[in-house]
Amino acid sequence: MKIKIAVFIVFFGFSYNLFAQIDSLQTVKLEAVEVSATKISNSLLESTWSVSKLDFKSKQDQMQQLSFSEYVQGVPGLFALNTNNFSQDLRISIRGFGARSAFGIRGIKILVDGIPETTPDGQGQIDNLSLGSISLVEVIRGPSSLLYGNASGGVISIQTTSDIEKNYIKPAMTLGRFGMENLQIEAGVKKKNTTLILLANKIKTNGYRAQSGFESSGINARIKHEFSEKTEINLLLNYTDSPVAEDAGGLNFESVIANRLQARDRNVSYKTQEAVKQFKTGFSLKYQINPKLLFSTYGFSASRDFSAKLPFAFGGAVSLNRSYSGQGAQFNYNSGSPNNNSNNFQLGYSWAKQSDLRKRYYNNLGARGDLTLIQREKFDAISFYLLDQISIGKYKLVGGIRYDSNKLEAVDYLFENGNDSGSLFLNSWSSSLGVNYKINTKSYLFTSVGTSFETPVLSELSANPNGSGGFNSSLSAQRALNKEIGYRYFSVKSEFEIVLFDINTSNDLVPYELESFPDRTFYRNAGKTNRTGLELSFSKQISDFLDTKISYTFSDFSYKSFQIGTTDLAGKKLPGIPKHMASITSNLVKNGWNISLINRLQGNLFADDANEVKEKAFLVSNLNVSFQNGKGKISWIPFFGINNLWNSIYNDNIRVNAFGGRYYEPAPTRYIFGGIRVII
């Protein structure tokens, strides 16, 4: 391990020296890069928030397209775990928000083409998104409830392909180790002012460990139509059918040493897995009323049928029928004043509702038994916000305020153990103020102060440690105050950004397990925390065919006050988040070849609140290679990749505060995949 880290450091230093000696031939002016996730569209340089933008238009053809983690690698402040357990889903945290999640993505708002993918209660999943359709990803690294309300400790905005140069059909096939197969077909049709992008895929894998197989198929469609220069509409549709996603479970240290490939015995006995079907439609509309006034709106509706088998008897078989929908609109007024003095004012609202019919049964070693819970859970949300950006000379000031009203309700239909129906109101005000100062044409200083809040999701509230139905009424919303200051330098030759942040939170939502309910996750509020960190990113276009990107994150996150019984955990580090993270990515594009080497260094992290169990640091490298033959009417794109190039032994996921020391989910060893894509 030490040798690998030494190689990483040497390569890091070599690249830096190379950057200093070779001029860039890049001609794109970086000032033109726009970011839209901040709602008031702006140059990335002039943003008062910490924002990362990643472009995949030229990279998709060399990617495996198996996990969304491929699309957020190297973003400072962002940490991803659980890329190979498709039953528990990818776990993403931004500055610690989302690290508590036992499954799915929590505390982070996910948008796809401007439409919320996160449910109203704050639970995110992207298992219904065909990864091959991703064109751009924007990440707001820090609390953003002013912009998006509940569960906006960070924002991930995904843009799918919407513009094409000519009509095409693009079939593809990917094969990989552990029985991985990914069959895909994409088509693009453009006629006058209308563009249709359609992508369908079917994927399956046996998984690295026993009982970790996964199957899924889906279709995504996007129609873009321009009625005129003033009016544009986007229509979205996706359908996903994942009949099986097995869960191998967490292992203790002794079991990992004995056999990394094994599944936990209880997971095998209870046949743990999940199945999902989801259908979603949505639209977004923009209308330029006049040169200064823009109206935009969106709406969506989704249904999700979910079933799961968990590794315990009482309530271990779950059935969930979910429906959720929402709509929002905003007016944007831009004075467009001359001499760089202007006012960009935005007024908007959003509403959303969610209804979950949750049923729990006995899991009789994989067979569904008697009913133990049936209840309807509802989440109704409405919000209003105003946002204003004032430009005065070299300064840009952005501020705003938002009010969110959230009503949560549980209706208990199983009266054998009493009526546990009830409701909660978790309302919140959010605000933010930021300043950006233009030092010169290449250098910018920015700072901001903002708040965020995060309600428990319905599945967390329904996990009642007393074993009854209804909600765990002891849970409160988590709140945070974020302060940051940063510096950006952008030139034709390079990009550099450094950000210092300090976040104070109260009522952190923390997962834990109980001996009386083995393998079931519950939640509690954890006093107060302090999160201080540094985010660094640097990229350099070494030549017209070679570029390198480097990022580093320092995270000093600890509990300020947290008491469990008689145990005082004040001063302990937050589990599930490494103190140090670094990555270096080099891309070579020449004569049809596209080669990427991605190196990721993850530092030590704790697996429990008491900081008694430490996961050691490791280095993982991935290599992606593709070649495009552009001659003739048909383009052939063969590609291959090697994940975990050095065959590192590490854990893909850490189950925070797992009972019995079952913290570890071993990661795959060296993994080879390859395939071909054809553009007709």
Interatomic CA distance for residues 498 and 618, integer angstroms: 24
As a whole number, mean pLDDT of residues 63-74 equals: 91
The answer on pLDDT for 29 being more than 50 is no
Asked if 186 and 219 count as a contact pair (C-beta separation under 8 A), the reply is no
Q: Is 105 exposed, middle or buried (0-12, 13-18, 19+ CB in 10 A)?
A: buried
- pLDDT band at residue 510 under the 50/70/90 scheme: confident
Interatomic CA distance for residues 394 and 91, integer angstroms: 40
As a whole number, mean pLDDT of residues 193-209 equals: 96
Interatomic CA distance for residues 481 and 502, integer angstroms: 8
Interatomic CA distance for residues 677 and 172, integer angstroms: 4
Long-range (24+ apart) CB contacts under 8 A made by 220-224 are 220/129, 220/130, 220/133, 220/160, 221/196, 221/197, 222/113, 222/133, 222/160, 222/161, 222/162, 222/196, 222/197, 223/194, 223/195, 223/196, 223/197, 224/162, 224/163, 224/194, 224/195
The pair of three-digit structure tokens given for residue 15, joined into one six-digit string: 């690249």
Query: Across 542-579, where does the E strand assignment appear?
Result: 546-561, 563-564, 567-568
Summarised one tens digit per residue, pLDDT across range 610-669 is 999 999 999 999 999 999 886 678 899 999 999 999 999 999 999 988 888 999 999 999
As a whole number, mean pLDDT of residues 270-299 equals: 96
Q: Is 646 left (phi over 0), alpha (psi -120 to 50) or beta?
A: alpha
Of all residues in the chain, the percent with pLDDT exceeding 90 is 72
Asked if 479 and 452 count as a contact pair (C-beta separation under 8 A), the reply is yes
Asked if 670 and 649 count as a contact pair (C-beta separation under 8 A), the reply is no
The pair of three-digit structure tokens given for residue 674, joined into one six-digit string: 């390859």
Look at residue 464 in the predicted model and tell me its pLDDT.
80
Look at residue 8 in the predicted model and tell me its pLDDT.
42
Which of 75-79, 126-130, 672-676 is predicted least confidently?
126-130
Other beta carbons within 10 angstroms of residue 415's beta carbon come to 10
In degrees rounded to 5, what are phi and psi of residue 446? -145, 150
Which of 175-184, 377-386, 541-550, 563-572 is predicted least confidently?
563-572
**Residue 315 half-sphere exposure toward CB, CA atoms < 13 A:** 19
The domains located in the chain, with CATH, are 2-158+275-679 (2.40.170.20)
Summarised one tens digit per residue, pLDDT across range 518-554 is 667 888 888 899 999 999 999 999 999 999 999 999 9
Query: Which residues, at least 6 apart from 25, have a Cβ–Cβ distance to it below 8 Å?
Result: 541, 543, 544
The pair of three-digit structure tokens given for residue 618, joined into one six-digit string: 């490791």
In degrees rounded to 5, what are phi and psi of residue 267? -65, -35
Cα 18 versus chain centre, distance: 33
Look at residue 659 in the predicted model and tell me its pLDDT.
86
Summarised one tens digit per residue, pLDDT across range 476-495 is 889 999 999 999 999 988 99
Asked if 358 and 375 count as a contact pair (C-beta separation under 8 A), the reply is yes
Per the DSSP assignment, residues forming a β-bridge with 127 are none
* Helix residue spans in 427-518 (DSSP H): 458-461
Summarised one tens digit per residue, pLDDT across range 30-45 is 445 788 899 886 788 9
- Average pLDDT of the chain, as a whole number: 90
Cα 658 versus chain centre, distance: 23
Look at residue 395 in the predicted model and tell me its pLDDT.
94
Look at residue 486 in the predicted model and tell me its pLDDT.
97
Look at residue 204 in the predicted model and tell me its pLDDT.
96
- pLDDT band at residue 417 under the 50/70/90 scheme: low
Q: 614-615 and 605-606: which strand pairing?
A: antiparallel
Look at residue 519 in the predicted model and tell me its pLDDT.
64
Between 24 and 91, residue with greater pLDDT = 91
Amino acid at site 327 = Q
Summarised one tens digit per residue, pLDDT across range 89-105 is 889 999 999 887 777 78
Query: Which residues, at least 6 apart from 559, have a Cβ–Cβ distance to it below 8 Å?
Result: 526, 527, 528, 529, 569, 570, 571, 572, 573, 574, 609
Summarised one tens digit per residue, pLDDT across range 421-454 is 888 899 999 999 999 999 999 999 999 999 999 9
The answer on pLDDT for 189 being more than 80 is yes
Look at residue 351 in the predicted model and tell me its pLDDT.
96
As a whole number, mean pLDDT of residues 328-339 equals: 85
